[in-house]
Amino acid sequence: MYPQHTFASETDTPAPAPGSQNSAFLEEKAFRARTVLVFGTITDIVAAETVRRLLALDAESSAPIDMIVSSPGGHLESGDAIHDVVRFIDSPVNMIGTGWVGSAATHLYLSAPLERRVCLPQTRFLIHQPSGGAGGRASDMALQAREIIKARERIAAVIARQTGQPLERVREDIERDLWMPATEAISYGLVSRIIERRQELTRF
């Protein structure tokens, strides 16, 4: 699903983690390796951090960026932000799925061209239509329902474009949760191939 989430206030600054110095070291190593990690629920905070890293890496060089994705999904518009920025920057992005890639995470994963979409052997993928909690006045509920339908059509169009599947089939497939292991995701057109080692990641 693409649920709405409650976000922390911008004034709520979390206390530094005990291993923050080590985390900074790992962040620096990941940056030098041109690797971006997208793990966990996709929120506006995750999207902002991911976009910031993508823009910084793109400003440094036009060499490929590796994005490793393991996420159940999250907020649709946050996924949109990452999706659009991947297509906006000059540096090509290699999408590497691992764990599970679901919902809004699948949406951002599809921002890369097929030949740059790979996954590790145990990865599972999920596609389905967006959903949202409708409440309040009848007029508000009707407006939310129309927006969900628009979002569903937009998501279906992206999946169809990026996988080569007929739009009508995609519409039918996302009516319910459609889980795919890596091999089925290849057949569907979500993934180009399965890799087991970094050396197998082709550089274009």
Catalytic residues: 128
Pairing between strand 117-119 and 193-194? parallel
- The answer to whether the CB of 4 falls within 8 A of the CB of 132 is yes
Which among 105, 88, 104, 87 is positioned nearest to 96, based on CA atoms?
105
Q: Is 148 exposed, middle or buried (0-12, 13-18, 19+ CB in 10 A)?
A: middle
All residues at 6 or more sequence positions from 186 whose CB lies less than 8 Å from its CB, including other chains: 192, 193, 194
Q: Is the four-CA dihedral 183, 41, 142, 160 of positive or negative sign? A: negative
All residues at 6 or more sequence positions from 29 whose CB lies less than 8 Å from its CB, including other chains: none
Single-letter amino acid, residue 151: A
Determine the Cα–Cα distance for residues 134 and 169; give it in Å rounded to an integer. Answer: 27
Determine the Cα–Cα distance for residues 121 and 71; give it in Å rounded to an integer. Answer: 16
- The answer to whether the CB of 16 falls within 8 A of the CB of 143 is no
